[in-house]
Amino acid sequence: MSEEKDYEKEEKHHKHLELLGELGAVAAGAFALYEGHKARTDPKHAHRHRLEEEIAETVALACAGFALHEHHEKNKAKKHHN
């Protein structure tokens, strides 16, 4: 019985991390869009804004990958639970 609870707890843990990864991807994507806009409207500092945009895009991609990984881990825990 306690082993079942462990799988439930693990599933919940991975679900929480998946949601955090999705949130990070959305936040980094929004920041990338903002920096892209600033690059066009602030020509004096456009190079810096483009660099920050590229970094934010990379972070968004990494967060999305983490969320996908946690989704698979959650499904694996759910499969063991059932």
pLDDT (mean) for 43-71: 97
Each domain of the chain, given as residue ranges in start order, spans 2-81
pLDDT value of residue 80: 82
In this prediction the pTM is: 0.86
pLDDT value of residue 66: 97
Non-local (6+) Cβ contacts of 61 within 8 A are 25
User: H helices of the chain, where?
Assistant: 2-41, 46-81
- Mean residue pLDDT across the chain: 92
